[in-house]
Structure 1
Amino acid sequence: MKPIVKNTATAATPVSLLAGMAIASPVALNIFAPVMPELAVTFNTSTFTIQLGFTLYLFTLAIGQLISGPLADRYGRRPVLLWGFILHIAGCLLGIMAAEAWQLLLARVLQAAGGCTGMLLARSIVLDQHGKDQAAGMLGYITLGIASAQAIAPTMGGYLSLLAGWQSVFWLSMALGSIIWLGALLYLPESDKIDQNSKGFLDSFKRYNCVLSSPGYLWYALSCTMIACGFFIFITSAPFVVAKHMQGSPVDYGNWFILVAGGFWLGSLTAGKVSAKAGTNRMIKLGNYISGAGSLLMLGLFIVDSPSYLSLFLPMALFTFGRGLSQPNAQASAISATSGAKATATGMLGFLQLLIGSLMAQLTPLLMKMGLVVLPLVLLSMVLLAAYCYYRGVKACTAC
């Protein structure tokens, strides 16, 4: 796992391996959600503290991608990924052995710090090897893999917790991380030329000046971020809505969450098939319209009647269908707006998306004390901000 000093890629990286790299961290993130109410009881602590296990994960993913991007451009995709997954696996082990809440939270931080490399580098490698429109289609398929994992993970987390205890969610994440690490060790070539002109570790981070000054990059990145925030907000809020207002169990949440992840899955599949032909801008606009419609539908249903499983999960499925259409295209547009340093650009995108997402995810449950109607109102606000940022991105790129 020493840094590679030349481009050794002889063929495109297998899509299955890229998808596995991308889903390991989302699985660890989402499998945790249905067991949060149980963990609050087990560790005799507040729901706010246990929610930090989700929020700190997102925050660490943000910081981790900000650091890993320049390192991957400087030292190579392969060594950064391999060392990252070792850290991820160590976090899973700590989670299994956790006896106090602070140990659980530390385990989540370690999982995220290592797992972020897979999310970052899966996108970077695709953009190393393909043009923007084709990359958007391939990113759609990778996002499809993430959506499939998100569909399975909460349901599996609920059943695993019921059958084998909450530690089982960490065992599953460790098994998946170990398989991906082994696959990367055997089948992942270096996909980009290593920059040997950097004078040292800190010099690698100067690429962010170039990335942030690229016309349109920040606006496209923020557009993608706002839509992702809506998903993170729902993930941290819905388990407690189900437990408190519907007297549901983690299994009930997991079963109904399949609708939400299914919407994301279908949207990502559609994006993978048509993005190259339809173009990135058209797909972003269509996705934002559909996500906005889902937010308005949830708002209307909450006003008309008390919340139910159908009024909570069905509109969110529409929201995530729109996200599946817009996200890979907004990602491709943002990263392609920069010249070189794709991993650095991807890292900044992940940083913005997850930092803002983690803050919104922790804030929204507090706002919801004013009423459940706050949830769809916040979701709608995220869509409107995404649309505004998109149009600013188009304007910036057109002007250059």
Structure 2
Amino acid sequence: MSSTTTAPSAASLASAPRLVLALSTLMAFGAMSTDMYLPAMPALQASLQASPARIQQTLSLFLVGFALAQLVWGPLGDRYGRRRPIMAGVALFMAGSIGCALATSAEAMLGWRLLQAVGACAGPVLARAMVRDLYGRERAAQILSVLMLVMGVAPLVAPIIGGQLLVFFSWRSIFWVLLGFGALAFLAAWSLQETLPADRRAPLGFRNLVFGYLGLLGDRRFLGYALTGGCFYGGIYTYLAGSPFAYIEFHQVPPEAYGFLFAVNICGMMGLNMVNSRLVPRLGTDRLFRIGLLLGAVSGVALALSARFGWLGLFGLAAPLFVYVSMLGFIVANSVAGALAAYPRKAGQASALLGTLHYGLGGLFSALLGLLADGTPGPMGLLIGALGVSGLIAGLLVGSGK
């Protein structure tokens, strides 16, 4: 498919560095909303007098809300354009951040985290759709890799910021900082030009939504890309839910040092995104995608074994996690570009279903980890290993097409 643009203003938009920065900011909502408060989970548990499983639910419920609400924001973006729905979603996120900062019980925190999630997901789902508005498949994979490289700063610095805020302030300060991030994202969305012209917008109706989603689910290649990405997102969010307790409580890593250990994995992901953006024109998206699936499965199995038997202590946990997280650089951009390539006229809806499967599986398996938690890294390693292998198997649905 050609990489020519599909909107009248695409050329000017594509050449603007602020487009990359703005879209990266919008795509960073998931990372900022989850990673910054990870070091504070033990503090939340003590302050709100809740169990570790209850506090882990603040992550899993966020992911469920983040996943399901995309099914609404995507079609809204196809009907009304990208900018206005994004700004509405950011406003909801900001309201939820205020509620989290003022929460006095685990139940209140769960409710406000859900509102945060409903608003936050508008940014990533419609940012992906904007990339599809502007680019064809191979170029979209390159641009998505660049966006993930830039937005990689969010999961890189978010847990470090969270850990340092805990040193000087309480866990509530983290959500006030997220409120400020929401304000910046609102300004970023306001500064963008619309990428979906009025004559390309899709009608909005229940029948159109249902048959549109059924059609996407019936597309074997779309489903293959979506499920493989979903399996690896499930592994990543299992890691996010389990690593604070595995590192801080089991291996006695100081909370302020957790963010730096976390950052090493993000550097690996950013590095492979850079490599991916360079290799896509030569090797193609599907070949790099399959390499990522294979190495991700191998590292997941290695993690499951080391976590179960305690091989090499902290290093035995951290090393395979580094490889697993890094493989997202080959998996995510290429799978998203492949999934959206055939749907230029309903990119919002396709992006929504893709995101729902990604974050839905993330929420499901992070919640399952809460049920399996036994005070050791074993359940986390087992789930990540199983999801790595499942992602490799689901990749067979994609077939051998370019």
Task: State the distance in 2 between where 1:120 and 1:57 align.
Answer: 15
**What residue in structure 2 maps to residue 171 of structure 1?**
176
Q: Is contact 2:45-2:51 (8 Å) kept?
A: yes
Task: State the distance in 2 between where 1:393 and 1:289 align.
Answer: 14
Q: Does 1:314 align with 2:319?
A: yes
**What residue in structure 2 maps to residue 149 of structure 1?**
154
Q: In the superposition, relative to structure 1, how do residues 247 and 361 fare at CA in structure 2: closer, same or farther (>3 Å)?
A: same
Shift of 1:153: 0.8
Q: Is contact 1:289-1:322 (8 Å) kept?
A: no
- Root mean square deviation of aligned Cα: 2.2
Q: Is contact 2:213-2:349 (8 Å) kept?
A: yes
Q: Does 1:96 align with 2:101?
A: yes
Q: In the superposition, relative to structure 1, how do residues 245 and 343 fare at CA in structure 2: closer, same or farther (>3 Å)?
A: same
**What residue in structure 1 maps to residue 353 of structure 2?**
348
Q: In the superposition, relative to structure 1, how do residues 244 and 306 fare at CA in structure 2: closer, same or farther (>3 Å)?
A: farther
**What residue in structure 1 maps to residue 13 of structure 2?**
12
**What residue in structure 2 maps to residue 61 of structure 1?**
66
The amino acid of 2:102's aligned partner reads M
Q: Does 1:240 align with 2:245?
A: yes
* Greater displacement, 241-250 / 77-86: 241-250
Given candidates 272, 280, 298, the residue that maps to 1:275 is 280
- What TM-score do the two structures reach when normalised by structure 1? 0.91
**What residue in structure 2 maps to residue 3 of structure 1?**
none
Shift of 1:201: 6.4
Q: Is contact 1:57-1:108 (8 Å) kept?
A: yes
* Greater displacement, 266-275 / 304-313: 304-313
Task: State the distance in 1 between where 2:310 and 2:276 align.
Answer: 34
Shift of 1:8: 7.2
**What residue in structure 2 maps to residue 72 of structure 1?**
77
Shift of 1:65: 0.8
The amino acid of 2:62's aligned partner reads Y
Q: Is contact 2:373-2:379 (8 Å) kept?
A: yes
1:5-25 CA-to-partner distances (Å, cap 9, x unmatched) read xx7746326111111111133
Q: Is contact 1:33-1:54 (8 Å) kept?
A: no
Shift of 1:371: 5.6
**What residue in structure 2 maps to residue 4 of structure 1?**
none
Alignment of 1:8-157 (within 5 A): 9=9, 11-12=12-13, 14-157=19-162
1:131-157 CA-to-partner distances (Å, cap 9, x unmatched) read 101100111111223322111111211
The amino acid of 2:322's aligned partner reads A
Shift of 1:368: 4.3
The amino acid of 1:56's aligned partner reads L
* Greater displacement, 22-31 / 227-236: 22-31
Shift of 1:313: 1.9
Q: Is contact 2:57-2:370 (8 Å) kept?
A: no
**Partner SS state of residue 12, structure 1:** helix
Unaligned runs of 5+ in 2: 1-6
Task: State the distance in 1 between where 2:224 and 2:343 align.
Answer: 12
Task: State the distance in 1 between where 2:266 and 2:194 align.
Answer: 31
Number of residue pairs aligned between Structure 1 and Structure 2: 391
The amino acid of 2:371's aligned partner reads L
Given candidates 176, 180, 187, the residue that maps to 1:182 is 187
Shift of 1:345: 0.4
Task: State the distance in 1 between where 2:168 and 2:249 align.
Answer: 23
Q: In the superposition, relative to structure 1, how do residues 209 and 187 fare at CA in structure 2: closer, same or farther (>3 Å)?
A: same
- What TM-score do the two structures reach when normalised by structure 2? 0.90
